[in-house]
Structure 1
């Protein structure tokens, strides 16, 4: 199989998308696409569960995607879930979805979604040396990203999407003036906290997603404007939708699918509200968005240019961690990890998580020495970290939270099996470098099997380091509650 063939899947709140691309001398050539308007957000209940019909529709779609992905190297595949999957409390659906696809699903934060959308747009437009604001209206959320070339200046994810808004205000498949007024007032209140002055510098405005592209096509069909979408064109189009009055009439007038017709008025109102809030006269609709951003990000990982490494480096410097100590801990951690088998279904090598956790294990000191490991874990789990999925962050946070003092196996219940040995390795590495001396560790044997940790140091070394021996005795006490045993010589 050609390693240059990549597969990406975008599990949005409105549509599920699959794209198969081939890298050809620096160019990305799309060789296959699949799309289904699953509208997962319509199936999300108030208690954040999925209705049976929505679940079945989604899994059927993913089974088809899985069949298409089956022949691609799994390390060249990335599947990303957005707003509705972020809210979903039914973890069994994720497991079934991953089984249907044959690869893990990464649930990403709103900021990470915004970053990937921006990445997918700016690679394919001419920025004319100006700032760029990218607007993407999804089914469950709307992303706004302001950037200067490849640098993101500001990113926001609004909990407003075309499916969510339509589900709330247009539940009877009718479009009335009263419904439009109620939805518009709601949007105005949601946007109220945002500063209306995005920038004083020259800026171009781009609109991504199927909703914005459909609005442009409807405007062109009705001769309401040119290529760019203007506020005036949206107002005129809204009058037409009100005159039609029903989803069925909109569907026939504009030759839309029922699913698209049901949410297009909601999408129009969101775009109109955003443009009015930020005094945007017109925007350019573009054909690229999240999928293209995922492809480019995945390609960077394959070519060892992983955004996550830059994020970790930034965190270490931001919180003033002792990089020399962190590096010493990282070297010893990876030394031990290379001596055991760490298997996983995830696309990321487990040792990457250990490396990141080693570098970050002292960032909590920026808050307080007292229980700094808890502060480190909290920062990692709850921060918006570019390039990282929520699963990535939970794995690192669990390692950090348990790398000192009390060890609790319950914290690893829904995480991959490799997280426990990684945590034990980091605990030992930190212990071995407690003196913070620059001398490297000598070569030693390490094994972990069936809850048994074994360390074998060079003859006489452990006797020369009584403090380490004392710490190992204490470590044995911390671990014995969970029937984990450690011995050394």
Structure 2
């Protein structure tokens, strides 16, 4: 996908992404970078091709080793180049390794970008087509492409597909969370325990705290990823996990959703810092703090990593108060958990919530 400032490369199978890379070279940026003043020449083109080719080196060999069965180009740039190839009778619409050099030579007959006259090229694409063809030729060379089919769909359709998926069973965010779990070696059994407990607690207070299905999904993802930072270091792992979640490219998640996820993971243990929720807008702060309180309790209740299910717990909530009732026999057999629950009154207080544990 050749954009204005960057080009994205993805290898996938079905709904699964196998490899993703982003090259900081797009049709607009490359036109401005390599052809200042709008001047074209074979020497400038050759130098630019070599420069972009070097930027492929960190991932080209890995991509070629993995391989693919079909190559697709998505974006207005590919559609424009495809139209030119078809009009010049170089192909029937596909972009090929044989057609690109002929197209480039035809383009370089012009000495200035404003003078480019390529058959089938629209006037609005003329100012940026040189950079697009340059990036595509570099991609063909670096990746050993022979033929590129052009997708009729692009970002707009991708966004619509994402929206439809969120309403059904194909939410890309679920796949991303699963991929992160695998990549960072998260204990999925423990993640399941914490998620189940967290959602059970949420169900008991959702009406009083005005939490909805989207909040439940966010809490579930945070529960599944709360131990992500253990792969980096045990000390301060909640801080490490939060940083990874905030600054990674996580498919399907908006920037704001990643910030929410990072804030929940950052606040699931130890003291809550004053800046933990600074990245979130005012309208999400109350929900974020309430979800963090539920996650803290879920993690604490499953800290022993016991296989036996938890007994029935009773959680009640008011505006800024939270009360938990735990069965007497269960808590008597776990003095460390009793101490943790009592100590958690200070931890949850950092969220602006008064927490009181009771024994039934």
Normalised TM-score (structure 1)? 0.63
In the superposition, relative to structure 1, how do residues 175 and 343 fare at CA in structure 2: closer, same or farther (>3 Å)? Answer: farther
1:85 is aligned to none
Q: Give 3-state SS (helix, strand or coil) of 1:166's partner.
A: helix
TM-superposition CA deviations, 1:159-210 (whole Å, max 9, x none): 1111111222334334344543442232122123333471486733322211
Shift of 1:224: 3.9
Q: Give 3-state SS (helix, strand or coil) of 1:140's partner.
A: coil
TM-superposition CA deviations, 1:88-125 (whole Å, max 9, x none): xxxxxxxxxxxxxxxxxxxxxxxxxxxxxxxxxxxxxx
2:217 is aligned to 352
Q: Give 3-state SS (helix, strand or coil) of 1:369's partner.
A: coil
5 Å matches for 1:46-57?
A: none
Match of 1:208 among 43, 53, 74: 74
Find the aligned partners of 2:292 and 2:264 in 1 and give their Cα distance: 5
Q: Give 3-state SS (helix, strand or coil) of 1:203's partner.
A: coil
Find the aligned partners of 1:147 and 1:482 in 2 and give their Cα distance: 41
Q: Give 3-state SS (helix, strand or coil) of 1:153's partner.
A: strand
In the superposition, relative to structure 1, how do residues 267 and 370 fare at CA in structure 2: closer, same or farther (>3 Å)? Answer: same
Find the aligned partners of 2:46 and 2:186 in 1 and give their Cα distance: 52
Match of 1:403 among 257, 268, 287: 268
Match of 1:442 among 312, 319, 332: 312
Find the aligned partners of 2:33 and 2:112 in 1 and give their Cα distance: 16
Q: For the aligned residues, what is the CA RMSD?
A: 3.1
Shift of 1:262: 1.0
Find the aligned partners of 1:313 and 1:205 in 2 and give their Cα distance: 26
Find the aligned partners of 1:153 and 1:314 in 2 and give their Cα distance: 10
C-alpha contact 2:345 2:355 (8 A) present in aligned 1: yes
2:64 aligned with 1:194: no
Find the aligned partners of 1:193 and 1:317 in 2 and give their Cα distance: 23
In the superposition, relative to structure 1, how do residues 398 and 247 fare at CA in structure 2: closer, same or farther (>3 Å)? Answer: same
C-alpha contact 2:84 2:118 (8 A) present in aligned 1: no
Q: Give 3-state SS (helix, strand or coil) of 2:18's partner.
A: strand
2:97 is aligned to 231
Q: Give unpaired runs (5+ residues) of structure 2.
A: none
C-alpha contact 2:85 2:94 (8 A) present in aligned 1: no
In the superposition, relative to structure 1, how do residues 250 and 333 fare at CA in structure 2: closer, same or farther (>3 Å)? Answer: same
2:323 is aligned to 455
Shift of 1:298: 2.8
Normalised TM-score (structure 2)? 0.82
Find the aligned partners of 1:460 and 1:279 in 2 and give their Cα distance: 68
Shift of 1:222: 3.1
Shift of 1:237: 2.3
1:145 is aligned to 10
Find the aligned partners of 1:433 and 1:204 in 2 and give their Cα distance: 47
Find the aligned partners of 1:220 and 1:439 in 2 and give their Cα distance: 64
In the superposition, relative to structure 1, how do residues 326 and 441 fare at CA in structure 2: closer, same or farther (>3 Å)? Answer: farther
Structure showing the higher strand proportion among its residues: 1
2:114 is aligned to 248
Find the aligned partners of 1:308 and 1:264 in 2 and give their Cα distance: 34
In the superposition, relative to structure 1, how do residues 427 and 195 fare at CA in structure 2: closer, same or farther (>3 Å)? Answer: same
Shift of 1:300: 2.5
C-alpha contact 1:328 1:440 (8 A) present in aligned 2: no
2:245 aligned with 1:376: no
C-alpha contact 2:317 2:323 (8 A) present in aligned 1: yes
2:339 is aligned to 470
C-alpha contact 2:113 2:130 (8 A) present in aligned 1: no
5 Å matches for 1:98-137?
A: 136-137=1-2
Find the aligned partners of 1:377 and 1:312 in 2 and give their Cα distance: 14
Find the aligned partners of 1:247 and 1:488 in 2 and give their Cα distance: 72
Q: Give 3-state SS (helix, strand or coil) of 2:22's partner.
A: strand
Find the aligned partners of 2:42 and 2:267 in 1 and give their Cα distance: 56
Q: Give 3-state SS (helix, strand or coil) of 1:220's partner.
A: helix
2:24 is aligned to 159
C-alpha contact 1:319 1:363 (8 A) present in aligned 2: yes
1:102 is aligned to none
5 Å matches for 1:56-67?
A: none
Shift of 1:411: 1.9
